Structure 1
């Protein structure tokens, strides 16, 4: 066996081990192994080799490097972070690596709220999943696909996929953190279905599991969702208590910043809300998250008590985006805000216009089983 073939096989096995460590959320061990892999990859890059085997390995490394950043340093990921891999995929790419490519590209799209692209990529990944025998890989796909369905307000489908994933993870020792992640997804789905008691049970169960594994970063993810749970019930003070812990430890967590700002706005604490809105907008501009720029801009208009004309301008821009992304729950929410505002001004024509938009959104949500 030549030295080149031996090195290839060693690195490929290390990459497989690296992925399994990430899959089971053993990030300290994954970090240690990554250092060894990085050194070997630098040596391989120096070799001028265009063979299919060589290109597959480098693409596999790039994909897993992206996955590692998603788990450990998500805020460093930009809209163009996946571009370097787009030119590497072709008809000669190994099936498993092609599956990872589409699955991770979907995660990247989801990170930037590009739900249509995320759905397309997950469908591509699903078409390749049948060639993969490892049931843990199937569980990972189900869990990620469940998150997408949560974002596009298909909560019952989200719950169905999450339960499929959870059933598999529970059969395997060492995947308790993944079970906790499933509990978190179930909890957030229950929030949107207004099953608040069940939501709290799932989220607290998730935190209990994560505490046993000292998964402090993931606990903050769940704490954000506890904040969402209490915010949805207008328990603003309780929501702020959870959300402020998240934003203090992760100042770039724009979703928590938005929820916290909105709760301060509800309490008429406009100065604090304004500071959080400014921070959130800055973060969204830096990372390129278009969806939350619209959320923050509308909230800023409300918090600053701008004229209804200026508020309408912001809402119309947001509604156009939300319709394009099939986010009909937000179309309903913000058109209702305008309808109520115009009703106070006795502008009945505008009231009628925006209640029509509300009705359209309700029908869209009803058609996909997502009506809240």
Structure 2
């Protein structure tokens, strides 16, 4: 007769599993996950512990999707299956379990670019944050808040959370991945404050750390962000070089942010008036965005071609803005309206330019009011 394993012992093992997940140690996380699954079979009955396991399985899947999103692995459950199982038992979630459910679900919504949904879940998680005693878990929450506020262009709030998270991660040598990601968010906020020269050292440090980690995703992201920084500084040639290198890595690794990287490269090439190469990248990027079912970047590529192509396509430009406004993606509206206004001014169409400047100002107002959009 097999001896029953105490649920408290399995709970400690799940905590170990979560530690590896947060450190992006895939092999170790997979190893401990298998141990947990074996031990659960011989565990004394504990419904809360089983729910904790289901939540951690979901978080494990989120990690794998970040590391290698497009890798075909039939052994990994679909997000929909995991969510259905967890949400079927959501009424049983209280305290820390409720925190983890909302925090992990917020990560998933963020991954889907559903930023307001993500914020809603993070705010729900925050109600139980006082129950969290682990410094690293508090830093995880602070980082995710920095990330979402950055995407919603709540710059100073984002910067505050990012610095808070970074101070904790710097004290732990095993959390370099998160440290790098914090540097990205801080640099992005400096860009939004119109201080790209202050962003540069953060990105150079992030690239060095990413190379030390030997992490292709982080290396490609650092190169991409450096390209974006140099574009903000007006050095389009250097920006294009960084974007091209980032695209090369994303292609070889089949990362899900490949459409984003090609889009930024295409945008810079159009602005440099290297139209033939821009058209080539546009066709490639649009094809990949469709392959990845990335509706946002399908629209963004069509906007670039409609605006900068040989024949201006006003209908397609309007269609892209309709899509962005419908999904309340106002940071993209602001950026694209600014680009369109500059383009039409350059081509002697001040009335059209004024229309887009007005659209840009409207988007800025919506961004400033963004903190009212996710109240619960």
Aligned residues: 359
For the Cα contact (< 8 Å) 2:26–2:64, is it kept in 1? no
Using structure 2 for the length normalisation, give the TM-score: 0.83
Query: How far does the alpha carbon of each residue in 1:215-260 deviate from its partner, in whole angstroms, 9 at most, with x for none?
Result: 3431221111111111223322211222222211212422111111
- Farther off after superposition, 15-24 or 141-150: 15-24
**Which runs of structure 2 are paired with 1:42-121 in the superposition (5 Å)?**
52-53=47-48, 55-75=50-70, 81-87=78-84, 88-89=86-87, 90-93=90-93, 95-121=95-121
Using structure 1 for the length normalisation, give the TM-score: 0.83
Query: How far does the alpha carbon of each residue in 1:70-93 deviate from its partner, in whole angstroms, 9 at most, with x for none?
Result: 33213459xx95322333231212
SS in 2 for 1:91: helix
SS in 2 for 1:194: coil
Q: Which residue of 1 aligns with 2:277?
A: 272
**Which runs of structure 2 are paired with 1:85-164 in the superposition (5 Å)?**
85-87=82-84, 88-89=86-87, 90-93=90-93, 95-164=95-164
**Which runs of structure 2 are paired with 1:133-282 in the superposition (5 Å)?**
133-251=133-251, 252=255, 253-282=258-287
SS in 2 for 1:25: coil
Q: Which residue of 2 aligns with 1:33?
A: 32
- 1:137 Cα deviation from its structure 2 partner: 0.6
For 1:64 and 1:133, the matched residues in 2 are separated by: 19
Q: Which residue of 1 aligns with 2:22?
A: 23
Task: Name the CA shift for 1:350/1:199 in 2 (closer, same or farther; >3 Å).
Answer: closer
Which stretches in structure 1 are left out of the alignment for 5+ residues? none
For the Cα contact (< 8 Å) 1:315–1:334, is it kept in 2? no
Task: Name the CA shift for 1:135/1:325 in 2 (closer, same or farther; >3 Å).
Answer: farther
- 1:111 Cα deviation from its structure 2 partner: 2.0
For 1:354 and 1:71, the matched residues in 2 are separated by: 36
For the Cα contact (< 8 Å) 2:216–2:249, is it kept in 1? no
Query: How far does the alpha carbon of each residue in 1:196-217 deviate from its partner, in whole angstroms, 9 at most, with x for none?
Result: 2210011112223333333343
- Farther off after superposition, 340-349 or 293-302: 340-349
For 1:355 and 1:260, the matched residues in 2 are separated by: 24
Task: Name the CA shift for 1:54/1:17 in 2 (closer, same or farther; >3 Å).
Answer: closer
- Farther off after superposition, 271-280 or 128-137: 271-280
For 1:196 and 1:37, the matched residues in 2 are separated by: 46
For the Cα contact (< 8 Å) 1:170–1:179, is it kept in 2? yes
For 1:220 and 1:339, the matched residues in 2 are separated by: 31
For the Cα contact (< 8 Å) 1:113–1:289, is it kept in 2? no
- 1:265 Cα deviation from its structure 2 partner: 1.6
SS in 2 for 1:174: helix
